Structure 1
Amino acid sequence: MSANDSTREYQEDIVSNMIVKQSKHTHYSTSKKERFLQRRLARLYDITKPELCFYAQDPSGYPSNPPEAISTTMKGETFYPQVLRDNVVDQERGLKNKTVEEMLGHPSWRVQCQNCYQSDPDSEISCTCDYQTWAEEQFNFWIGNINIQKSPGKGFCLFARKTIPAHSTIGEYCGELVNSAWRATAKESAYWVSTYCGMPREDKKGGQKLCRVDASKKGSPMRFMSHSCKPNAYLVRGRIGDDRYVVAVKSLEEEIQPGQEITIDYGKGWFKKGEFCLCGHAECRKPPLEDV
Structure 2
Amino acid sequence: MFDWIFRPRNLLGSGIIPSASINPLPTMNTTLQIFHTQNNLIMQNSTHQIMAQIYRDISDSSTPGLMLNAIDTLQKNPSLVQFISTSGKPPNNTSSLAGLLSPSIQSGILIHFYEAAAVIEKTRIWLECIQRGEETTLINELAQGAMSKATLETREYLSRTRYSEVASSCGWMMLSILATSGAFREATKLLDQTQWQAVGECIKANFRSIEVFAKVRGLRWDILLPPGLCSGSVGHIPVDHPHHWTVPLIGPARRLQYQGQLQINIDRCIYNPNAFGILGRPRNWPLQWPYPRDPTLRNFDDLCSVCCTTICACHEKPMAQPLVEITEYPHKGNGVRALERIANNAVLGEYIGEILPVHANVQDEVYGMSIFDSRRVAQVGMISSAIKGNWTRYINHSCEPNSVFETVIVGQHRKTLVKSIREIDIFEEITIDYGPFYFDSQKLCCCGSLRCRYATPERVEASRKWAERMYHARQAGR
Q: TM-score, normalised by structure 1?
A: 0.64
In structure 1, what is the Cα distance between the partners aligned to 2:442 and 2:369? 24
Report whether the alignment pairs 1:282 with 2:457. no
Give the direction of change, closer, same or farther, for the CA distance of 1:56–1:205 in structure 2 (3 Å limit): same
Q: Does 1:69 align with 2:255?
A: yes
Kindly indicate which of the two structures has a greater share of residues assigned to strand: 1
Q: Which has a greater percent of helix?
A: 2
Contact 1:178 1:214 (8 Å CA) reproduced = yes
Distance change (3 Å), C-alpha of 1:127 and 1:79:
same
Instruction: Tell me which residue corresponds to 1:200.
Output: none
- The answer for the alignment partner of 1:232 in structure 2 is 402
What CA distance in whole angstroms lies between the structure 2 residues aligned with 1:9 and 1:281?
A: 40
* Structure 2 Cα separation of the partners of residues 86 and 232 of structure 1: 24
Provide the rounded CA distance (Å) in 2 between the counterparts of 1:259 and 1:283. 22
Gaps of 5+ in 1: 1-7, 22-30, 47-51, 198-203
Q: Tell me the residue number matched to 2:67.
A: 13
Conserved 8 A contact 1:146-1:162: yes
Q: Is the 8 Å Cα contact of residues 107 and 207 (structure 1) preserved in structure 2?
A: no
Q: 1:196 to 1:270 in 2, by over 3 A?
A: closer
TM-score (norm 2): 0.41
CA distance in 1, matches of 2:339, 2:73: 15
In the TM superposition, what are the counterparts of 1:166-245 in structure 2 within 5 Å?
A: 166-182=344-360, 184-185=362-363, 188-195=364-371, 205=375, 210-240=380-410, 242-245=411-414
| Structure-2 change in CA distance of 1:219 and 1:103 (3 Å) | same
Shift of the 274–69 alpha-carbon distance from structure 1 to 2, 3 Å rule, reads closer
Give the greater-gyration-radius structure (CA): 2
User: Hey, what's the Cα distance between the residues in 2 that align with 1:147 and 1:71?
Assistant: 16
Indicate the residue corresponding to 1:110 in structure 2.
302
For residues 111 and 194 of structure 1, do their structure 2 counterparts lie closer, same or farther at Cα, with a shift above 3 Å needed? farther
**Following the alignment from structure 1 to structure 2, what is the Cα–Cα distance between the partners of residues 210 and 239?**
16
- Consecutive unaligned residues of structure 2, counting only runs of 5 or more, are 1-61, 76-180, 185-209, 219-238, 280-289, 462-478
User: Partner of 1:158 in structure 2?
Assistant: 336
Structure 2 Cα separation of the partners of residues 92 and 101 of structure 1: 10
Counterpart residue identity of residue 446, structure 2: L
Describe the shift of the 1:229–1:104 C-alpha distance in structure 2 as closer, same or farther (beyond 3 A). Answer: same
Q: CA deviation at 1:68?
A: 3.1
Say if 2:336 and 2:430, in contact at 8 Å, map to a contact too: yes
The 1:101/1:184 distance shift into structure 2, 3 A limit, reads closer
CA shift for structure 1 position 162 = 1.0
The amino acid of 1:56's aligned partner reads T
Aligned with 1:195: secondary structure? strand
Indicate the structure whose relative CO is greater, using CA pairs within 8 Å and at least 6 residues apart.
Answer: 1
Tell me, in whole angstroms, the C-alpha distance in 2 between the residues paired with 1:248 and 1:86.
12
Deviation at 1:54, TM superposition (A): 1.0
CA distance in 2, matches of 1:172, 1:18: 23
1:96 Cα offset (Å)? 5.2
Q: How does 1:5-84 map to 2 (within 5 A)?
A: 12-14=66-68, 16=70, 32=182, 42-43=217-218, 44-45=239-240, 54-57=244-247, 68-73=254-259, 78-84=260-266
Q: CA deviation at 1:209?
A: 6.8
How far does the alpha carbon of each residue in 1:166-209 deviate from its partner, in whole angstroms, 9 at most, with x for none? 11111010101001233554xx2231112357xxxxxx758997
Question: How many matched pairs?
Answer: 236
- 2:315 alignment counterpart: 130
Write the distance in 2 (CA, Å) between the matches of 1:90 and 1:162. 36
Runs of 4+ off more than 6 Å = 8-11, 18-21, 36-39, 206-209
> Identity rate of aligned residues, in percent?
18
